Amino acid sequence: MDKESRWTGSTSSLRFAALPARTKGARSGSKRFADVTGIRETDWLGKHWARWSDAVREAGLEPNSLQDAFDEDTLLEQYAQLVRALGHVPVKAELQMQHRRDPSFPDINAFIRGFVT
């Protein structure tokens, strides 16, 4: 199926199409699914399923679970360690780069949710 085509198939064909969207043993999100299969969110959302996790469940898989929020102490500790390592207060891009280098480092949005009012 090319990326330009509209999907009008059955849910069973979607289950079959979901298989290639899996990468390295981990499920990908609806964007990766669309990139791989050409089936866009607008083709299924509100027509077959209300959310991506519903489609994943119907395909016989377990949807990814949300990560627990970082507590304030952990955020402060991680931030302070980065400040010490850099020798200055990090800018937004440095927080993003640190998260990409070390996935256990909180994403910038965790800092925004935790401290920006």
The answer to the question of residue 102 being in a domain is: yes
The answer to the question of residue 41 being in a domain is: yes
Q: What is the pLDDT of residues 3-35, one digit of tens each?
A: 444 555 555 555 545 554 444 455 567 887 787
Q: Looking at residue 78, what is its pLDDT?
A: 93
Q: Containing domain of residue 24, as a range?
A: 11-58
Q: Looking at residue 80, what is its pLDDT?
A: 95
The answer to the question of residue 30 being in a domain is: yes
Provide the domain count of the chain.
2
CB atoms within 10 A of CB 98: 20
Q: Looking at residue 31, what is its pLDDT?
A: 82
Q: Are residues 76 and 53 in the same domain?
A: no
The answer to the question of residue 4 being in a domain is: no
Q: Looking at residue 8, what is its pLDDT?
A: 56
The answer to the question of residue 108 being in a domain is: yes
Q: Looking at residue 4, what is its pLDDT?
A: 43
The answer to the question of residue 65 being in a domain is: no
Q: Are residues 49 and 81 in the same domain?
A: no
The answer to the question of residue 3 being in a domain is: no
Report residue 103 as tokens.
């996935």
The answer to the question of residue 64 being in a domain is: no
Q: Looking at residue 23, what is its pLDDT?
A: 46
Q: What is the pTM of this model?
A: 0.47
Q: Are residues 20 and 48 in the same domain?
A: yes
Segments of the chain scoring below 70 in pLDDT: 1-28, 65-67, 114, 116-117
